[in-house]
C-alpha cells in the first residue's frame, strides 16, 4: 500500500526487548513500630517532667533566698523610714512655730491627742504642703 512512492517503516521493539514492567508493590520499610513510638513519647514526657520538677525546685529556692534577704534588710529599711519621718516631723514643727509665732499660748509640736504614747503620723503630717 505504498501510495505515491512513500515507504512505510514498521515500528519494532528495540534490540534486546523492552525493559521489564515493574508491577510489584513498592512499600517503604517499616522503621518505627507502635511500641517504639510509645516508648519515645514516654521518654519525652519523663524528660519534660524532670525539667518541670527541677525548675520548680530552683524557683522555690530562689523565692526562699529572696524572702530571707528581705527579712535580713528589713530593720535597715525600717530605720531609714523612721529617720525620714522624724526629719519631716521636725521640719513641720519648725514651720508650725514660724507660722503660729504671733498666736498667744500656742506651743509648736504639741500633741493633739489626749494620750502619752506615741501615735504614728498620718501621711498628711509627713509630706510637705
Distance separating alpha carbons of residues 85 and 37, to the nearest angstrom:
68
Q: CA–CA separation, 78 vs 71, rounded Å?
A: 11
- For 121, the grid coordinates are 503620723
Task: Please state the rounded mean pLDDT for residues 7-17.
Answer: 86
Pick from 30, 46, 50: which is nearest to 38 by CA?
46
Q: How confident is the model at residue 6 (pLDDT cuts 50, 70, 90)?
A: confident
Look at residues 76, 105, 108, 74 and name the one whose alpha carbon lies nearest to residue 94: 108
- Banded model confidence at residue 56, pLDDT cuts 50, 70, 90: very high
pTM of the model: 0.50
Give the C-alpha separation, 127 to 83, whole Å. 14
Q: What is the pLDDT of residues 63-106, one digit of tens each?
A: 999 999 999 999 999 999 999 988 998 998 999 899 999 999 88
Helix (H, G, I), strand (E, B) or coil at 32: coil
Amino acid at each position: 500500500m505504498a501510495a505515491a512512492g512513500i515507504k512505510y517503516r514498521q515500528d519494532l521493539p528495540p534490540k534486546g526487548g523492552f525493559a521489564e514492567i515493574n508491577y510489584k508493590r513498592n512499600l517503604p520499610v517499616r522503621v518505627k513500630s507502635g511500641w517504639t513510638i510509645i516508648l519515645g513519647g514516654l521518654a519525652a514526657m519523663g524528660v519534660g517532667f524532670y525539667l518541670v520538677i527541677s525548675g520548680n525546685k530552683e524557683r522555690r529556692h530562689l523565692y526562699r533566698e529572696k524572702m530571707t534577704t528581705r527579712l535580713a534588710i528589713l530593720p535597715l529599711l525600717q530605720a531609714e523610714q523612721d529617720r525620714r519621718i522624724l526629719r519631716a516631723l521636725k521640719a513641720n514643727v519648725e514651720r508650725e512655730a514660724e507660722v503660729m509665732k504671733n498666736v498667744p499660748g500656742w506651743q509648736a509640736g504639741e500633741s493633739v491627742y489626749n494620750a502619752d504614747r506615741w501615735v504614728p503620723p498620718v501621711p498628711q503630717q509627713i509630706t510637705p504642703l
